[in-house]
Amino acid sequence: MNLFAYFHDAVLRALGQMSEAGELAAGLDYSRIATEAPRDSSHGDVSTNAAMVLAKTAGQQPRKLAEALAARLGQHTDVDKADVAGPGFINLVLKKGFWPRVLEAIISEADSYGDSKIGAGIKSNVEYVSANPTGPLHVGHCRGAVFGDALASLLTKTGYDVTREYYINDAGAQVDVVGRSAYLRYREALGENIGEIPAGLYPGDYLKPVGEALARDHGAALLSKSENEWLPIAKAKAVAMMLDMIREDLASLNIRQEIFFSEKSLHDSGAVAETVERLRGQGHVYQGRLPPPKGEIPEDWEDREQTLFRTTAFGDDVDRPLIKSDGSYTYFASDVAYSASKIDRGFNELVYVLGADHAGYVKRLQAVGAANAGNRKVEVIARLCQLVRLFRNGEPVKMSKRAGDFVTLREVVDEVGPDVVRFMMLYRKNEAPLDFDFAKVTEQSKDNPVFYVQYAHARICSVLRKGAADDRKPDFSLLTDEGELAVVKRLAAYPRLLESAALAHEPHRVSFYLADLAGDFHALWNKGKESPHLRFIVESDSETTISRLAFLRAIRYVLASGLRILGVTPVEEM
RNA sequence: GACCCCGUAGCUCAGCUGGACUAGAGCAAGUGCCUUCUAAGCACUAGGUCGCAGGUUCGAAUCCUGCCGGGGUCGCCA
């Protein structure tokens, strides 16, 4: 059950009755009406702005309209009191009997509490990480990886039909470099002293197993071949093995994309050429010249006629080249074909999770999506994740740009564990930079939100273990303490929270919600220290004990549900 | 030069597709609370002209314009 959706319907029904009764003009736009929790709980439980939103078009004074509407809402079986306040807010105070029903609903819905249909089965493609298959993932990939994965879970929970996808950049110059680097390691594996790795090749040890594998598969056969012959072999092997390593890195964070989409396959199948020609036919692609880039002009800039995508027609700043001077397609060209593939596969929502350094790419992606979509409705949503700055006891962790000297994702996960990495990466909104201090995130204190939330869950489990099993039905009307009601109200807001987080594509809201809920719970716990009758287990009162234990189960469902969306383990003991 | 993100309490940050008289947390500062279901915690106090200036609105931290400050991006690189 969704508290706010429930009363939103009630508001709309009341308005309908009013227009039938001739008290309100028919055919008004109800879309801006909001039904939500008032900021200050002393105003009531549910609040609506309906009267203020409708006043102008209805030709009525907001307060008068509000009073008429409040009168009708006051009749609702669950409403104790409907007041008009301020410029025309209607505040509803719910009957005491309503809150027990919320808890009953949570317990009967259990894990499915908070499920929503707001996604309306929209086919959403969430593409994230998509790092070049040239080495292990580094710490910079963590955030996008976790963000994308949690967003996908959030969208699934709220009724979207989600596919998690990884785009493999296995077609460009970077993978040629990996191929050559692997070939060098192959020669090394055959006993040659290769000395220092030359500049321009990847020096990392992680390519040694690729060289060894090539040696196993081919013996010395590749040594006598020309680069034209051995490069594709070395490249394919290196990409495959790097990708396996990346999959393992992701798995260490419990991330598993369903689709790994190869850029190379778009070239091999002719999809890039087809897409470019189709768009040319539609007038989106033309031969022309570009103005020189602003700012610092690259040394090798040359003015020439080239094949361009008219992205400016869709809001981009300049048109973008599709074909390089050597006749091969640009990276952007394969991206155009990739976008077309997603749309052909039936997605109506394309979510790109990118690093902030790709901000300049967003308009282009949107332009391409719009052009490929034609008259189909396809939304392109880009979410940018800002940098993560690593600290160790307050000191920044130095990472030189020299290749090979970076902190890998795996190192971070191995040191602090996947739960900590995932929660911390989501405990900041994605556009804000994030500081990650190894010492702080593993601290066992309330300053550490991961611990704080997991501790709440573990505490509940601890009490539930102590509570004796009893089949009697809980009576939630026994829960009358202010602290208890605060928790119930927070639980009631969960479905709505998920919906708004999903619509905004902002999973961090779930983390903050959980920290708040955990705070409410810890406060309640502590009340039991001062007032023994408020403890969850009250020896002398089995009725209350049964009801409170059931209440704890409801809290536990919500904590666990939220943690699952974030991909963090709801631990039972700590 | 253009575009993107950020600017909210001493510090780190929330603020839900604009909403109400008192803009919220946490840390840091101050004061209390352990014979008790885990004090790995809780309660209370203090602290802010929401970068600045205009505009839209019944109503702006939230939307629009300009400016200031911090970060980022610009390529036939992926």
Distance in Å, residue A455 CA to nucleotide B33 C1': 21
- Report helix, strand or coil for A336: helix
Contact A382, A125 (CB under 8 A): no
Which residues of chain A register pLDDT less than 70?
Answer: 39-41, 293-301, 399-405
pLDDT for res A536: 86
In this prediction, residue A445 carries a pLDDT of: 72
Residue type, A472: R
Say yes or no: A204 and A84 in one domain. Answer: no
C-alpha span between A147 and A479 (Å, rounded):
37
Strand B contact with A508 (CB < 7 A):
yes
The kind and range of the H/E element at A389 are: strand A388-392
Domain that holds residue A231: 173-251
Q: How many CB atoms lie within 10 A of CB A534?
A: 18
The answer to whether residues A518 and A530 touch, using CB atoms and an 8 Å cutoff, is: no
The CATH number of whichever domain residue A505 belongs to comes to 1.10.730.10
Same domain, A476 and A494: yes
Paired strand residues for A391: A396, A437
Protein-proximal positions, strand B, CB < 7 A: 1-6, 12-17, 19-22, 25-27, 33, 36-43, 58-59, 71-78
User: Given A52, A76, A95, which residue is the final one in a domain?
Assistant: A95
How does DSSP classify residue A196?
S
- Do A273 and A368 have their domain in common? yes
For residues A572 and A574, what is the distance between their CA atoms, to the nearest angstrom? 7
A73 shares its domain with A139: no
Strand B and A302 CB separated by under 7 Å: yes
In this prediction the ipTM stands at 0.89
- Look at residue A50 and tell me if it is in a domain: yes
312-371 on A, CB < 7 Å from strand B: 317-318, 321, 324-326, 330-332, 356-363
Per-residue pLDDT of A391-430, as tens digits, reads 887 777 876 544 456 788 999 999 888 999 999 999 988 8
Lookup: nucleotide whose C1' is closest to A51 CA: B58
Give the number of other Cβ atoms within 10 Å of residue A209's Cβ.
14
pLDDT of amino acid A532: 79
Strand order in the sheet with A123-127: A259-262, A161-168, A123-127, A349-355, A379-385
Q: Do A486 and A523 fall within a single domain?
A: yes
**Which residue reads 């013996």 in tokens?**
A219
Residues 33-92 on chain A lying near strand B, CB distance under 7 A: 34, 36-40, 42-44, 47, 49, 52-53, 56, 62, 85-89, 91
Question: What pLDDT does residue A294 have?
Answer: 64
Verify that A37 and A69 share a domain, yes or no: yes
Window 438-467 of chain A: CB closer than 7 A to strand B: 444-447, 451-452, 455, 458-459, 462-463, 466
A295 touches strand B (CB under 7 A): yes
- Where does a domain end: A385, A416, A432? A385
- Between CA A187 and CA A180 the distance in angstroms is 11
pLDDT, position A219: 94
Q: Radius of gyration over alpha carbons of chain A, in Å?
A: 29
Phi and psi for A242 in degrees, rounded to 5? -65, -40
Query: Based on the domain organization, do A273 and A365 belong to the same domain?
Result: yes
* Model pLDDT for residues A152-183, shown as the tens digit of each residue: 999 999 999 999 999 999 998 889 999 999 99
How many domains does chain A divide into?
A: 4
Neighbours of A136 (CB within 10 A): 18
Q: What is the DSSP letter of A429?
A: -
Residue A418 lies in a domain: no
Residues A196 and A303 reside in one and the same domain:
no
Q: What is the DSSP letter of A24?
A: S
CATH number reported for the structural domain that contains residue A315 in this entry: 3.40.50.620
Domain stops at, among A95, A120, A140: A95
Q: Tell whether A203 and A263 lie within a shared domain.
A: no
Instruction: Residue A56: give its domain's CATH number.
Output: 3.30.1360.70
